[in-house]
Amino acid sequence: MSDPVLALVLGEIRNETASVFEFHNGCWLSLPAVDGMYWGSTPYGIDWGCNAGSGAPQAICTWVQFWNDNRDEAGRLISE
What per-residue confidence (pLDDT) applies to 17?
A: 72
**Order of strands, sheet of 47-51, starting from the edge strand that comes earlier in the sequence:** 19-22, 28-34, 37-41, 47-51
What per-residue confidence (pLDDT) applies to 7?
A: 76
Band (8; pLDDT cuts 50, 70, 90)? confident
Domains of the chain, residue spans: 4-68
> Which stretch of DSSP H or E encloses residue 31?
strand 28-34
d(CA 71, CA 6): 19
What per-residue confidence (pLDDT) applies to 77?
A: 93
Taking only the tens place, the pLDDT of each residue in 20-78 is 888 889 999 998 889 999 999 999 999 999 999 888 888 998 999 999 999 999 999 99
Instruction: Say which amino acid occupies 17.
Output: T
Contact 36, 51 (CB under 8 A): yes
What per-residue confidence (pLDDT) applies to 2?
A: 60
Q: Which residues touch 57 (CB under 8 Å, ≥6 apart)?
A: 10, 13
